Structure 1
Amino acid sequence: MRVFSFFSGSGFLDLGFETNGFDVAFVNEFDPEFMRAYQYARQSMEIEPPEYGYYNGDVNVFLTDAEKRDELSRNMEAVRAQGELVGFIGGPPCPDFSIAGKNRGREGDNGRLSLSYINLIVQRQPDFFLFENVKGLWSTKRHRAFFEELKEMVHAAGYSTTERLTNALEFGAPQDRERALFFGIKNELLGEEHTGNEILNFPWLRYQVHTMDEINAYLWPENQDFEEGGERMMPDGIPEELTVQHWFERNHVETHPNAPHHFVPRAGLAKMQLYQEGDVSKKCYKRLHRWRYSPTAAYGNNEVHLHPYHARRLSAAEALAIQSLPEEFTLPPDMTLTAMFKTIGNGVPYMLSSGVARTIHDYLTEMNIEQ
Structure 2
Amino acid sequence: MIFKKGEFFNGPGGIALGAKMAKVVDKDGIEYRIEHQWSNEIDESACQTYIHNICPDRPESVINKDVRKLDIEKDLDEIDAFTFGFPCNDYSIVGEKKGLEGNYGQLYEYGVKVLRKFHPKWFIAENVSGLKSSNDGQAFIRILRDLKESGYNITPHLYKFEEYGIPQARHRIIIVGIRDDIKKEFKVPAPTHGEGKLPYKTSKEAINEPIISVDAPNHEYTKHLDKVVEFLKYIPPGENAWCENIPEHLRLNVKNTKMSQIYKRLNPQLPAYTVTGSGGGGTHMYHWKEHRALTNRERARLQTFPDDFVFFGGKEKVRQQIGMAVPPDGAKIILEAILKTFANVEYDSIESKWNIDDLLLKNQLELVGK
Q: 1:251 and 1:324 mapped to 2: Cα distance? A: 13
What's the offset of the Cα at 1:92? 0.9
Residue type matched to 1:304 in 2? H
RMSD between superposed Cα atoms in Å: 2.4
Other-structure match for 1:277: 237
Other-structure match for 1:311: 291
- Secondary structure of the equivalent of 1:188? helix
Q: 2:298 and 2:330 mapped to 1: Cα distance? A: 18
1:97-176 pair list within 5 angstroms? 97-138=91-132, 140=133, 142=135, 144-176=137-169
Residue type matched to 1:36 in 2? Q
* Percent pairwise identity: 22
Query: 2:192 aligned with 1:209, yes or no?
Result: yes
Residue type matched to 1:253 in 2? I
Q: 2:75 and 2:219 mapped to 1: Cα distance? A: 42
Deviations 1:51-74 (A, max 9, x none): 961100112234xx3xx52231xx
Contact 1:13 1:353 in 2 (8 A): yes
CA distance 1:353–1:362, change in 2 (3 Å): same
Other-structure match for 2:247: none
TM-score, length-normalised on structure 2?
A: 0.78
Off by >6 Å, runs of 4+ in structure 1? none
Q: 2:278 and 2:229 mapped to 1: Cα distance? A: 21
Other-structure match for 2:308: 328
Q: Which runs of 5+ in 2 are unaligned?
A: 23-32, 243-259, 346-370
Residue type matched to 2:117 in 1? Q
Residue type matched to 2:146 in 1? M
Other-structure match for 1:228: none
Query: 2:314 aligned with 1:354, yes or no?
Result: no
- Secondary structure of the equivalent of 2:63? strand
Contact 1:29 1:55 in 2 (8 A): yes
Residue type matched to 1:31 in 2? D
What's the offset of the Cα at 1:214? 5.1
Query: 2:74 aligned with 1:70, yes or no?
Result: yes
TM-score, length-normalised on structure 1?
A: 0.77
Residue type matched to 1:53 in 2? S
Q: 1:341 and 1:181 mapped to 2: Cα distance? A: 23
Q: 2:57 and 2:103 mapped to 1: Cα distance? A: 30
Deviations 1:86-123 (A, max 9, x none): 11101011021011122110111121212222233233
Contact 2:176 2:186 in 1 (8 A): no
Q: 1:359 and 1:127 mapped to 2: Cα distance? A: 14
Q: 2:167 and 2:216 mapped to 1: Cα distance? A: 21
Count of residues in Structure 1 that have an aligned counterpart in Structure 2: 313
Q: 1:55 aligns with which of 58, 63, 83?
A: 63
Q: 1:329 and 1:49 mapped to 2: Cα distance? A: 16
Contact 2:11 2:325 in 1 (8 A): yes
Query: 2:50 aligned with 1:34, yes or no?
Result: no
Q: 2:168 and 2:69 mapped to 1: Cα distance? A: 35
Other-structure match for 1:218: none
Contact 2:152 2:180 in 1 (8 A): yes
Contact 2:51 2:62 in 1 (8 A): no
Residue type matched to 2:297 in 1? A
Q: 1:149 and 1:273 mapped to 2: Cα distance? A: 48
CA distance 1:311–1:102, change in 2 (3 Å): same
Contact 1:256 1:317 in 2 (8 A): no
Contact 1:61 1:69 in 2 (8 A): no
Deviations 1:153-193 (A, max 9, x none): 23223221111101111111110010101111221222xx6
- Secondary structure of the equivalent of 1:176? coil
CA distance 1:87–1:296, change in 2 (3 Å): same
Q: 1:364 and 1:344 mapped to 2: Cα distance? A: 31
Q: Which runs of 5+ in 1 are unaligned?
A: 80-85, 194-200, 216-237
What's the offset of the Cα at 1:268? 4.2
